Chains A and B, each alone.
Chain A
């Protein structure tokens, strides 16, 4: 058992703090929000130069072989900006899915290009399992139907598309965004990012575009999703921590009744509750991260537990932060409004808070599972 950050982990944190402070201040964020694209190729290249776009990939696939602990350290800093670029979609969700499911050839072709910043991807998975039909043609699969709310699709060159085949297996296809038969209807999101609804009309997908050949994709999708949930929970903790910090600072300098409002005990106690929510949320993200190398049950417990816990903290903190700011808190004058929106969006992505709470509830309804301590067998 050791929860001390390694030197390397501290370095990742410091270089993230430095890069984001230098290159991604509130003005940059606001300029991006005012742009149509909502992301910056320049920043993305900066991420690539720092090695972040290949952080969790194996070294033989052009990555840096880092683990979940490094990912959550980086993501927390991203959440403090908050970074608009499609890091979770491209690197964590799609990148991990390719790493876990892809053939050697597919990994070789795709991961290196993600790491070098040339490729962005979006996962068309659609938790609602929209009605997609797949027909096997002589030399291709034909995809028809809709995938809704595909996050970060507008900036992606490649979509990974999940489908259930006639034999009951789940396939994941790697499809160029500009392939014939695919139309994207794109929207801005509440938190300033972008998503698309994708219409497939007999889009022809060659068999070699199926990740992993004939392997059923379910297990890999679940694992990659657990990574993505953990990463976005860390992003939310970053937004939460920025909100707590800015609210404490604001309360110290805003004066009413002849004194800083931070002198009022009712506000002091609320600020403490916010800080505790932050600390607890960070702790559950670390648990989720350190559960990703376990078996499927451990991963799921970690990820759903964190999503439920961080979701609750996210809601409490953003509401309390707005209230403590008074009217200015209800505007976009300060960054506060953008953190609040980021946290609202966080709660919706990868299934809402209550669904994860429900999943976690199923797991611990078994008294044995509820009793299990977090310290683990040496051999696990």
Chain B
């Protein structure tokens, strides 16, 4: 067992570093440092994404036949880890990481030809319409209806917490196509253009001052039937496949480690004399080391063709907690400085303050926004219950 990069992987890492050095401009770096949301907004990433696309690197997790990189798991890990280290943005994960893989597996040739190239090029921005006011953790109880009206579905209902719906031109939704039987069995997976008549997007501002998510209303929307992915009533299986696909494909240790490093810098600058802060930082540091080892073990399992087992819930549970602890630590370092509130967003465009203290302005919003980490994508309680079954057979 060892942690050394092979010669080829080493060369690959250098290539990634060279690319990042060229395309992480000072402006982009500052924008990312002042980003307060759990993911960056698509526009800030567009130029960078186009550079990736030109190099053939737009979709690290896709196979080559669909225009992906065809990288090995280790190469993907290196790429994710290097780009996280320099704070590189991601462009619309809902496209590249979510709907893309679903269309590759369940989409028709037409779906694939129509959508995949536009995801790669950054022309399309996607959003995910799963949650509803009455269907959160119990997602399968969703009520948004799609009724077969011959040449189209008539869609009525409401989605909520739809991240970046205000940037998106396309949406994938889970809709109810059957009200009988088990609730999971009456759900279908439907994609729509956001400019269809009857789709209305209303913003929801987070308490951190950012507009990340929205309500999306469907008022008698006539959705073309060509938007059905898979079979009717196969939607639940499709949504679950994504979790399967993501297993190990979504390493986070490097992102959390980059935050660890920036909090270490904050301590150096503002609170060098308080050992209680460095000890808390160290606890998170040891947590990140363990998490990175678990990710690398998973990677090694994948690499050698083994089934990695039930670790994705474990990793989500833990990295969300670590992100929150670091945001909290930053808040504690900042003291009263974190109370200065700048309401303009994005921060990097609205700031009038001396650059040496502008980083303070992101700390309060980030702390508040990061509370969402343990809620989005399955709450920590739900992940823990999944693990009780998967890991312990309870």
| A277–chain B nearest beta-carbon distance, Å | 10
Indicate if the CB atoms of A373 and B81 lie closer than 8 Å. yes
At the interface, yes or no: B219 with Cβ under 8 Å from chain A? no
Bound CA span A375–B77, Å: 10
B257 touches A371 (CB 8 A): yes
Residue B18 CB within 8 A of the other chain: no
Instruction: Please report the number of residue pairs spanning A and B whose Cβ atoms sit closer than 8 angstroms.
Output: 179
**Closest chain B residue to A4, Cβ basis:** B304
- The answer to whether B353 has its CB under 8 Å from any CB of chain A is no
Q: Is the CB of A3 within 8 A of B267?
A: no
Given A262-B394, A268-B394, A357-B279: A375 touches B296 (CB 8 Å cut-off): yes
Residue B356 at the chain A interface, CB threshold 8 Å: no
A110 at the interface (CB under 8 A from B): no
CB-based contact B5/A272 at 8 Å: no
State whether A268 and B385 are in contact (beta carbons under 8 Å apart), knowing that A284-B289, A287-B289 are contacts in the complex: yes
| B68-106 interface code vs A (CB 8 A; 1 in, 0 out) | 000000100110010001000000000000000000000
Interchain CA distance A287-B292 in the complex, whole Å:
10
B327 within 8 A of A: no
Q: Which residues of B contact A55 (CB under 8 A)?
A: none
Stretch of B124-132, B178-186, B280-288, B333-341 that contacts chain A? B280-288
* B residues less than 8 Å from A42 (CB atoms): none
* B229 → A minimal CB distance (Å): 33
Asked whether A1 lies within 8 Å of B385 as measured between CB atoms, the reply is no
* A280-B287 in contact (CB<8A): yes
Kindly state whether residue B44 has any CB partner on chain A within 8 Å. Answer: no
**A267 (CB) vs chain B CBs: closest residue:** B394
- Inter-subunit contact B267/A276 (CB<8 Å): no
Q: Does B6 contact A (CB under 8 A)?
A: yes
Q: Are A373 and B85 in contact (CB under 8 A)?
A: yes
Stretch of B30-38, B57-65, B146-154, B258-266 lying at the A interface: B258-266
- Give the contacting residue for B286; candidates A248, A360, A367; CB below 8 A: A360
Q: Does B2 reach chain A (CB closer than 8 Å)?
A: yes
What A residues does B306 contact at CB under 8 A?
Answer: 4
Map CB proximity to B onto A247-261 as digits: 1 under 8 Å, 0 otherwise.
010011000000000
Beta-carbon contact of B1 and A2 below 8 Å: yes
Q: Give the Cβ gap from B91 to chain A, nearest Cβ, in Å.
A: 23
- Kindly provide the distance from the CB of B307 to the nearest chain A CB, expressed in whole angstroms: 13
CB pair A271 B392 closer than 8 Å:
yes
- By beta carbon, the residue of chain B nearest A373 is B81
- Chain A CB within 8 A of B137 CB: no
Any B CB within 8 A of the CB of A378: yes
Contact A370 B264 (CB under 8 A): yes
Q: Which of A237-296 contact B (CB under 8 A)?
A: 248, 251-252, 262-263, 265, 268-269, 271-273, 275-276, 279-281, 283-284, 286-287, 290
Chain A residues 341-374 with CB under 8 Å of chain B are 354, 357-358, 360-362, 364-368, 370-371, 373-374
Would you call A124 an interface residue if the criterion is a C-beta within 8 Å of the partner chain's C-beta atoms?
A: no
B1, B260, B285, B300: residue with the most chain A Cβ atoms closer than 10 Å: B1
A275-B387, A309-B289 known; A3 vs B282 contact (CB < 8 Å): no
Say yes or no: is B318 at the interface (Cβ < 8 Å to chain A): yes
The answer on a CB contact under 8 Å between B388 and A272 is yes
Q: Are A1 and B318 in contact (CB under 8 A)?
A: no
Q: Is the CB of A281 within 8 A of B290?
A: yes
Interface size on B, residues (CB 8 A): 58
Q: How far is the CA of A5 from the CA of B306 in the complex (A)?
A: 13
Please tell me if B293 contacts chain A, counting CB pairs below 8 Å: yes
CB-CB contacts of B1-23 with A at 8 A, as 1s and 0s? 11111110110000000000000
Q: Is B351 an interface residue (CB 8 A)?
A: no
Q: Give CA–CA (A317, B391) in the complex, Å.
A: 16
The distance from the CB of B271 to the nearest CB of chain A, in whole angstroms, is 11
Interface residues of B in 357-394 (CB under 8 A from A): 381, 384-385, 387-388, 391-392, 394
Asked whether any CB of chain A lies closer than 8 Å to the CB of B291, the reply is yes
- Contact call A357/B1, Cβ cutoff below 8 A: no
Beta-carbon nearest neighbor of B10 in chain A = A378
Given the complex, which residues of A lie within 8 Å of B51, measured CB to CB? none
Alpha-carbon separation in the docked complex, A358 to B286 (Å): 12
Beta-carbon contact of B264 and A365 below 8 Å = yes
CB distance from B44 to the nearest CB of A (A): 22
A-B contact pairs, 26 of them (CB 8 A): A1-B6, A2-B1, A3-B3, A3-B300, A265-B385, A279-B314, A280-B287, A280-B294, A284-B290, A284-B293, A290-B2, A290-B3, A305-B285, A309-B286, A309-B290, A360-B286, A362-B278, A364-B264, A370-B264, A371-B257, A371-B258, A371-B261, A374-B292, A374-B296, A375-B3, A380-B4
Given contacts A361-B275, A362-B278, 11 further A-B contacts (CB under 8 A): A1-B300, A248-B394, A265-B385, A269-B385, A280-B294, A284-B289, A286-B297, A305-B286, A360-B282, A365-B278, A371-B260
